[in-house]
Amino acid sequence: MATLVTPTDKTTEKVEKKSSPVTDEKPERKQRPRSDDKFKIFSGTANEALADEVCHFLGMQRGQAQVTRFADGECYVQIQENVRGADVFVMQPTCRAVHDGNKSTSVDEHLMELLLMIDALKRASARRITVVTPFFGYARQDKKNRGREPISARLMADLFAAAGADRLMAVDLHTAQIQGFFDGPVDHLFALSILASHIEKKLDVSRVTVVAPDAGRVRVCERWTDRLGCPLAIIHKRRDPDVANQVRMFEVVGQVAGRTCVLVDDMIDTGTTIAKAAEALFEQGASQVIATATHGVLSGAAVDVLKNSRISEIVITNTLPVPQEKRFDKLTVLSIAPLLARAISEVFSDGSVTSLFDGQT
Residues classed as catalytic: 237
Residue 170 bridge partners (DSSP): 133, 188
Q: What span, in angstroms and rounded, lies between the C-alpha atoms of 280 and 275?
A: 9
Q: 359: how many CB neighbours lie within 10 A of its CB?
A: 8
End-to-end CA distance of the chain: 69
Beta carbons of 149 and 115 less than 8 angstroms apart = no
Half-sphere CA count of 273, side-chain side, radius 13 A: 26
Long-range contacts of 277-280, Cβ-Cβ distance < 8 Å, separation of 24 or more: 277/211, 277/213, 277/235, 277/237, 277/250, 278/309, 278/310, 278/311, 279/309, 279/310, 280/235, 280/250, 280/251, 280/252
Amino acid found at 102:
N
Q: What span, in angstroms and rounded, lies between the C-alpha atoms of 213 and 234?
A: 6
Beta carbons of 209 and 262 less than 8 angstroms apart = yes
Amino acid found at 104:
S
Question: Residue 320: left if φ>0, alpha if ψ -120 to 50, beta else—which one?
Answer: beta
